[in-house]
């Protein structure tokens, strides 16, 4: 069966964030991807300079109308990432509602990009839209710790808090929740980041909960969150009732891409120099084989409630 994804995210001419980060890996794994670019920038905003255009809610609607008029608005998945405008986000909500009506088994994967490390980098008036309109429509949600805390109003200081926050997010709508990064201490030491996941088990009130230690790399990468959400979409499709395997494969893809990227960036920068944003662009094309068939580098542990 052909699987088609509508991905509404940012686009850069040079480098990998948003749709540029999600489309190629999804295509490599056999998905047809229709992209709507919420912004079109020369490069990501971590560079010294960037130029470009922002798509308005009205322009988004015009694009969707064109798809609808040709009766090709049938999707198996919708994927959304960064949005910085309430009217745009509300238009996305309208489109998702319409597409879910057309195909009740459609799966919506939402990365609720709002901020990190205690600071919001989108306007605060997006939070109620995410909380009241977007998250209730989502089937798979991939917030970081800060975003999960914003959405639930509950702080995460322990693994138990993390589990409770994921249960609160389930109550808001999504059947699958992955906290892509937390500040929780790893049992493997401070060279690891802890991610948590929870998937409701069909026809029951229980869920499979997992914890995964992700090796840290000392550099700032852009586009990794977008890659994570896309890979989670792909691997949960291939392993629908096995969040443990889906997360292991997702994190393993990330690991291979990041490792290849940092090795290359350090070679370009030369000994003792910190790589530039341009040198740290993800080595996506070079990682094609790892995306298709990732060697597993991490094992998720199943948490018992």
CATH of the domain at 217: 3.40.1190.20
- In the chain, pLDDT over 70 holds for what percent of residues? 99
- In total, the chain counts a number of residues equal to 305
Domain count, the chain: 1
Cβ atoms of 117 and 153 within 8 Å: the answer is no
Angle formed by the axes of helices 86-102 and 57-69, to 10°?
A: 20
User: Tokens 């971590």 — which residue?
Assistant: 46
- Give the 3-state secondary structure of residue 246: helix
How high is the pLDDT of residue 231?
Answer: 98
Q: How far apart are CA 297 and CA 287, in angstroms?
A: 15
Active site residue 226: yes
Task: Compute the mean pLDDT over every residue in the chain, rounded to the nearest whole number.
Answer: 96
Cβ atoms of 214 and 195 within 8 Å: the answer is yes
Task: Summarize pLDDT for 145-163 with one digit per residue, the tens.
Answer: 999 999 999 999 999 999 9
Res. 177 pLDDT band, cuts 50 70 90: very high
- Give the 3-state secondary structure of residue 29: coil
Count the Cβ atoms, other than its own, within 10 Å of residue 53.
Answer: 11
Q: Which of 191, 182, 180 is nearest to 251 (CA)?
A: 180
How high is the pLDDT of residue 304?
Answer: 67
Name the active-site residue from 111, 226, 242, 290.
226
Q: 137: domain range?
A: 4-302
Q: Which two tokens stand for residue 79?
A: 């994927």
- Long-range CB pairs of 48-55, under 8 A, 24+ apart, other chains included: 54/85, 55/88
- Give the 3-state secondary structure of residue 135: helix
Cβ atoms of 231 and 225 within 8 Å: the answer is no
Residue 258 has pLDDT above 60, yes or no: yes
Spell 219-237 as b/e; 16+ CB within 10 A means b: eebbbbbbbbbbbbbbbbb
Pairing of strands 301-303, 207-215: antiparallel
Q: How far apart are CA 83 and CA 89, in angstroms?
A: 7
Q: How far apart are CA 207 and CA 196, in angstroms?
A: 13
Taking the CA of residue 163 as centre, how many other CA atoms within 13 Å lie in the half-sphere pointing to its CB? Answer: 13
Phi and psi for 243 in degrees, rounded to 5? -60, -35
Task: Summarize pLDDT for 188-209 with one digit per residue, the tens.
Answer: 999 999 999 999 988 778 899 9
DSSP characters for 63-74?
Answer: HHHHHHHTT---
Phi and psi for 203 in degrees, rounded to 5? 70, 10
Spatial CB neighbours of 36, under 8 Å, sequence gap ≥ 6: 6, 7, 8, 9, 55, 60, 63, 64
Residue 46 has pLDDT above 70, yes or no: yes
* pTM (two decimals): 0.96
Radius of gyration of the chain (CA): 18
């Amino acid at each position: 069966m052909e699987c088609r994804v509508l991905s509404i995210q940012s686009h850069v001419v040079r480098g990998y964030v948003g749709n540029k980060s999600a489309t190629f890996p999804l295509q490599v794994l056999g998905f047809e991807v229709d992209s709507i670019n919420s912004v079109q920038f020369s490069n990501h905003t971590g560079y010294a300079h960037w130029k470009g255009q922002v798509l308005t809610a009205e322009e988004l609607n015009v694009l969707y109308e064109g798809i609808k008029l040709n009766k090709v608005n049938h999707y198996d998945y919708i994927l959304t990432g960064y949005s910085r405008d309430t009217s745009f986000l509300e238009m996305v909500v309208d489109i998702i509602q319409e597409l879910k009506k057309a195909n009740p088994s459609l799966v919506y994967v939402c990365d609720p990009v709002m901020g990190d490390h205690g600071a919001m980098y989108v306007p605060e008036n997006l939070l109620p839209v995410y909380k009241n309109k977007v998250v209730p429509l989502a089937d798979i949600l991939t917030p970081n710790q800060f975003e999960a805390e914003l959405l639930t109003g509950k702080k995460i200081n322990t693994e138990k808090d993390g589990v409770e926050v994921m249960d609160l997010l389930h109550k808001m709508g999504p059947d699958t929740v992955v906290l892509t990064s937390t500040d929780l201490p790893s049992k493997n030491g401070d060279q690891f980041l802890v991610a948590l996941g929870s998937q409701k088990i069909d026809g029951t009130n229980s869920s499979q909960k997992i914890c995964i230690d992700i090796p840290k790399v000392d550099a700032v990468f852009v586009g990794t969150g977008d890659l994570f959400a896309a890979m989670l979409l792909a691997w949960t499709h291939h392993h629908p009732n096995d969040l443990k395997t889906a997360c292991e494969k997702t994190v393993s893809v990330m690991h291979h891409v990041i490792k290849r990227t940092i090795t290359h960036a350090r070679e370009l920068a030369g000994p003792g120099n910190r790589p530039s944003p341009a040198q740290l662009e993800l080595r996506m094309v070079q990682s094609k084989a790892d995306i298709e068939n990732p060697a597993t580098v991490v094992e998720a542990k199943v948490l018992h409630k």
